Structure 1
């Protein structure tokens, strides 16, 4: 298969067709040739690293409950597949350990930390136990404390800061400024940024990040023309709900 530049990242697995952040979605992404899969993790009441986007189980299971207040056994009793399609009925919320076992050779898993620094010791244990190559696991988070501390304990892995850009129509300035983001990334010895690919993101922003030797990933791009524009700017990674479709369009 022809290698695509940039990295096409399957957002929560092949989530356009299968329930997000499940083994069904993740395995479907691998089966379709995904180079990388992005997942989200929270810490359970009994300190298991759980793969789910929201802090609550309500949206994907229909039953209220916060991951931090639930044990693994309680979490495993939930059906998180039926909301997407009846054929995924009784699909379970996976642990990070289960997901790590699915990663094919030379493929990447990008882990977004959702529950703060307290998850880091348990995350480190799971990553080391999986015995994968360092370049197969990358860490991202909106929490600066999380990525800063992750880099201290997982030095061989790429760690990127997530940032949601905003535009002030009164001042006509982007917030946070790209210079400030670069400063934060450099200070923590991080490997790059992962930003929203909306209209606020510009070629100038991209070039400023790239000129400092940093990686720049974007999320979430489901439009082919937008993806082509981003590629022309030199973006390193594109996160999409339709990874297989996007990759085939780019071939």
Structure 2
């Protein structure tokens, strides 16, 4: 119960890494505000936490809407009285070649994957500072934020942006002596629903790069087996464990760091 008495917001908590993170933080003692655009999935995450004896609430949220961020932070304070942890997890993956990518698709990735992280930090930090207890912000980047990948240029740009935004903000908070730590997590190939949502253009390009031309859809395990030293995809719970570590006092001397959980992919 390393997080007992603490309160977290987890975006994109309806499935995948977001759900696993919400469940793990709750299991470690935190009350969790789960947000997503998938209301059924988000409500199910809340139910799962409560069924296990934890505390949770769910709110619909599109992370690109600044006004909604103000409401989410306000609702969290009203429901649980404080805010200690923010997990900026909501994101999308769009696999398209640059020459075939529309400006709309580019802007959508930037808005959700990068601007959403900025807005979350902007509105969570004052609430954390108001409590004078510090806090922990965990921004979910990717190994695609560490190295380029053909067919995923837009996604790489957003996740690389999250990486350096995290480091800059960590220094701002450290300079303010507010006790707020800001770190990023970089998952590798993880078996989550995002693989069913990436459009086929980029996946076809990726399949050719992996020596599997003609594949219309790649599974996480197919990609991991081709490029991960450990030979298999990770699980959402693997990432949740890293998030919980950064949220807890076990990482109290870490800020501006990047925690890579990728089965050796980037090695």
Bucket of the pairwise TM-score, normalised by the shorter protein: 0.3 to 0.5
* Larger relative helix fraction: 2
TM-score (norm 2): 0.34
